[in-house]
């Protein structure tokens, strides 16, 4: 097993995929505007993503259960509002569905975000924060 480490609270995050190839196409497209790259396969049932080291994994659940989690959202940082817009547009074009169009979020001062569901039903978002 690969060792994944980071300086933040989490070492990594995982989402399930029922069709790994379809989910890989979605995440390759949606994460590219955020500077997150496909770092290649991890075994036969997972794909690694990150900026310079693996931090996000897309994988087929080992137990054969449903790949999506209800109530779970993974957020990706964006450098600009334009990057949030590009994340959303690329994700929709790659088979995702809209869970919240790009725009300001009133619950957090200075927040600009967009939400998507990936092809397996996982919820992901991208946020950019400006001075409130």
Cα(36)–Cα(31) distance, integer angstroms: 5
Confirm if 81 and 92 have CB atoms less than 8 A apart: no
Distances (CA, A) of 70 to 1, 83, 84, 116, 124: 27, 26, 23, 13, 12
Query: Which CATH architecture is the domain 13-61+72-129 placed in?
Result: Roll (3.10)
pTM comes to: 0.83
Q: What is the pLDDT along the chain (132 residues), one digit of tens a residue?
A: 344 444 566 778 999 999 999 999 999 999 999 999 999 999 889 999 999 999 999 998 877 888 877 678 899 999 999 999 999 999 999 999 999 999 999 878 899 999 999 999 999 999 999 875
Residue 105 near residue 112, CB atoms below 8 Å: yes
Q: Where are the domains of the chain?
A: 13-61+72-129
In degrees rounded to 5, what are phi and psi of residue 84?
Answer: -65, -45
Distance CA 58, CA 48 (A): 7
């Amino acid at each position: 097993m690969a060792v994944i480490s980071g300086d933040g609270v989490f070492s990594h995050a995982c989402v399930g995929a029922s069709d790994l190839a379809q989910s890989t196409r979605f995440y390759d497209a949606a994460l590219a505007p955020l500077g997150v790259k496909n770092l290649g396969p991890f075994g036969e049932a997972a794909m690694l993503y990150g900026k310079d080291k693996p931090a996000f994994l897309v994988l087929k659940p080992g137990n054969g259960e449903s790949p999506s989690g209800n109530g779970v959202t993974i957020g990706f940082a964006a450098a600009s509002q334009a990057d949030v817009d590009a994340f959303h547009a690329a994700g929709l074009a790659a088979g995702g569905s809209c869970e919240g169009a790009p725009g300001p979020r009133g619950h957090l001062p200075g927040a600009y975000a967009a939400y998507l569901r990936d092809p397996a039903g996982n919820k992901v978002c991208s946020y950019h924060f400006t001075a409130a």
